[in-house]
Structure 1
């Protein structure tokens, strides 16, 4: 009898333990028999296993999710490739041409947040046939970046040439040939690179900067003994398109780079994510019809999220001033986006969707050197800037710059210069705005100029959103310590 009681107790303990284990399983929300409602539709499971329809739906959702992540992560690369192609194909598409915006950039150029006050020069460098020489004159500002927008060589006082100029020799990936003496050598991890320079106006004239840039020479090292004539193309007033797409063509462009650039330019996580959507190093990108449909969806979602990430950021470090709507373009103050001890891909993507040129000089916090950029797409009340409304911005006296300041307006759709009846949608130190008695400057935005304010007015377009970037060239101490700060843009 006693043994039977012990056995009964033991069985009871086992049953209790089994029930407790079963309850523990339930508490972990493991799926057994369920009909789940999700953002991907209704999902069916039986005995813990998905139905064929649910499995397919989830596979497609994972494919799209990974493709969106690829879109965001590879945006700087595809964008820079678009710049490379746009400048390569401009004009007569000569292989050694340098595109110079001799009369400044205007709304005809489709380039992410270009500046209307600075003379720009861009050249597509192709290293697939061997090393390339770039002769740069003294006092040139700029550099060479690989296809990932990472700087290979800086040019200027803080660059490899120390502002003295010289012959830059760009070597392709894995180059094992002889490197001649007398060159400033840069090793490019990619076969495609972009040479970019900029110059400032002198007494309102672009001529000195253009003349300096036209001393540049680009040619293959193999032709160093007898270089070809340098080709130039004036980009001012021309439709030079350097913008990347928000459709499946984005993945086609990336597929070209994955196919014929060294796989080492992408990280292991990059390659894993890309392989899962059919982008495999060294292989043609050939998605089937079903994959094309999903990639087209992912590109649209990627562009949509990029706009949320950039135009509706919740990053607490984005605000320049705690009481105003101005935001940093380089959130965290790093052009490599690793100020937190890791690469913040959201910050990088927010920049890359609306801007190009991730040069350390653009984020350097050096008094009187380089440049700083702040932007806003909202008015003082927090509403997005509307091209059909009228606004006012007051810039206090004594803007803290050694060189110059500018306020430039951009189309929120293209992120390029806003196309209006004005040649330049901007006000700057160079444009000669009317200055108030106290040294401040009032800027007016809207479809129609306020009477008597034409000199300080930037035209906007009803139905189009817009944003503005304020640039500080040679920023001084009051900018960095924030004892000087612009007002918010206010509706009037």
Structure 2
């Protein structure tokens, strides 16, 4: 996203008809700009420098959102519970609205751990059949785990090396190197017969410890995140830039592109140096974060990307626009598509975007009703889900707060309807799901509570999607307002 300087008059035509600025007074969106003999006045120079710095800061906000978001996950995970090194949070009775995490779901058991490589390599003892992986601070996968991962689903000792590590690597490890000193270990498990105990037990077989402690690993610390205040969502204030400044200062410079580093240097962030903006710059950066957050909501919730629509006759949109987790389906990285995802979600994994019939997962989302209006928590709606949802594993419809982009907090603990919640089906096998402040009489099993004066959106998840999802011979109805 780039904001161009636009002059609103044609006075520049004076200079020989060539469009050069001479003795000109321009009225622009940035105020009056004056030039005398081709030279800017001091006021004009200051005004334009401030405008360019603000615009570059907004660009930095949009471009670095995935990194700062993942750092928020890293910090929120490390600061929860006992705050001990290598602790692992497990949402043992599923994730609920008390946790602030971008579009987490209410059906799978999550486990998260912050990996800190600043003191040396870290070992993760992975049990067999564990699903998940490790990603660096840029949300780039270091190692996937599971049948298609580095362990082939057999488990093993995963050794994560820090950037630039040249020490001895012992035998018997699956070795991977991280581009950053901070990494996130994330795993998930499925319910069995509506219970989470098997998934939790498997996760509790994992161990995380420094390679230096491999001979005598310390006891693994687990923290149950269910029903707990765990905050992993990044801010839309100057604190966003404080977090980014921390990463620029002490992570390797090459995790950022040269263009990234140039843009960040223009707002005072230089690799290896502490970020210490003065009061005036902090005020400007706070404005940039708020404008960036405002544009992120336009970019994500009111996108005009023609490839976002999942169906030509529905309001459902793809979360991975272009079908690529690397956002380069057009031959270049589309930073707007990446930012649209990053503002409301985490986990840019190919398994979430690539077509793989009966494997992985697929996601569509909607924030509008059948008439194109944003969803209103004070109104009542109905979603018709045709019979035979095309999934091998399970499906879910989960409701999120449009402000926090996290699970909507209501009197319902889990704001969702899914395979696991046992909704009542119609005679033809289809299911009607209701949304609103109060349940329609007799529809409690098929109802998700919403909150007046709060916008909301929903994700429709398909785990193990089957061919009718991909060829679109099956598709959900739109969300329709019910008067």
TM-score, normalised with respect to structure 2: 0.96
Match of 1:88 in 2: 78
Match of 2:455 in 1: 465
Residue 23 of structure 1 deviates from its aligned partner by 7.8
Alignment of 1:21-420 (within 5 A): 26-420=16-410
Residue 332 of structure 1 deviates from its aligned partner by 0.8
Q: Sort the Cα spacing of 1:25 and 1:175 in 2 relative to 1 into closer, same or farther, 3 A.
A: same
Residue 124 of structure 1 deviates from its aligned partner by 0.1
Residue 326 of structure 1 deviates from its aligned partner by 0.5
Match of 2:6 in 1: none
Residue 29 of structure 1 deviates from its aligned partner by 2.4
Matches of 2:40 and 2:405, distance apart in 1: 44
Matches of 2:199 and 2:466, distance apart in 1: 24
1:203 aligned counterpart, secondary structure = coil
2:476 aligned counterpart, secondary structure = coil
Question: Is the contact between residue 14 and residue 22 of structure 2 (CA under 8 Å) also seen in structure 1?
Answer: no
> 1:21-69: per-residue Cα shift (whole Å, max 9, x none)?
x989554422222221211112122222222111111100000000000
Match of 1:444 in 2: 434
Question: Is the contact between residue 14 and residue 20 of structure 2 (CA under 8 Å) also seen in structure 1?
Answer: no
2:421 aligned counterpart, secondary structure = coil
The alignment yields a C-alpha RMSD, in angstroms, of 1.1
> 1:430-475: per-residue Cα shift (whole Å, max 9, x none)?
0000011101110001111111111111111111000000000000
- Residue correspondences, number: 471
> 1:347-403: per-residue Cα shift (whole Å, max 9, x none)?
110000000011111112100000000001011111100111111100000000000
Q: Sort the Cα spacing of 1:23 and 1:144 in 2 relative to 1 into closer, same or farther, 3 A.
A: closer
1:185 aligned counterpart, secondary structure = strand
2:172 aligned counterpart, secondary structure = coil
More moved, 443-452 vs 60-69:
443-452
Matches of 1:312 and 1:41, distance apart in 2: 29
Determine whether 1:482 maps to 2:472.
yes
More moved, 237-246 vs 333-342:
333-342
Residue 341 of structure 1 deviates from its aligned partner by 1.1
Residue 179 of structure 1 deviates from its aligned partner by 1.0
**Unpaired runs of at least 5, structure 2:** 1-11
2:48 aligned counterpart, secondary structure = helix
Q: Sort the Cα spacing of 1:27 and 1:219 in 2 relative to 1 into closer, same or farther, 3 A.
A: same
**Unpaired runs of at least 5, structure 1:** 1-21
> 1:164-204: per-residue Cα shift (whole Å, max 9, x none)?
11110000000001111111111001000000000000000
> 1:78-102: per-residue Cα shift (whole Å, max 9, x none)?
1000100111111111102110000
Residue 345 of structure 1 deviates from its aligned partner by 0.6
Structure exhibiting the larger radius of gyration computed from Cα positions: 1
Matches of 2:393 and 2:237, distance apart in 1: 40
Matches of 1:284 and 1:94, distance apart in 2: 26
Matches of 1:101 and 1:155, distance apart in 2: 19
Matches of 2:332 and 2:162, distance apart in 1: 28
Matches of 1:24 and 1:60, distance apart in 2: 27
